[in-house]
Amino acid sequence: MRFTYKDPITENEIELTAEPEDYNGEQGFRIIFPEKDSFVMVQKDGSWEVVDDDDINPAIVEAIAAGLKSPTR
């Protein structure tokens, strides 16, 4: 699935790809940036969390989570 999010730091809209991924038995999405960097997010208790990278800015995670709720078609 492709969707856009507004980067809270640069305020640019960026198109991302989200691919379903099983992470240690939990369903989530691998979020892939245009330059091919990626990380996995899973939804826990209604909140999206990054599970395989500690260096992601929480404001970016929040913006991406909002983008996951309203994907572009």
Q: What is the mean pLDDT of residues 16-29?
A: 94
Query: Would you state the pLDDT for residue 68?
Result: 81
What pLDDT sits at residue 30?
A: 96
Q: pLDDT (tens digit, 9 = 90+) per residue, 32-65?
A: 999 999 999 999 888 899 999 888 899 999 999 9
pTM here is 0.84
Task: Name the least confident of 20-24, 32-36, 69-73.
Answer: 69-73
Range of the domain at 7: 2-69
Overall number of domains in the chain: 1
Assess whether pLDDT exceeds 80 at residue 73: no
Question: How far from 66 is each of 3, 4, 16, 25, CA to CA, in Å?
Answer: 10, 10, 13, 24
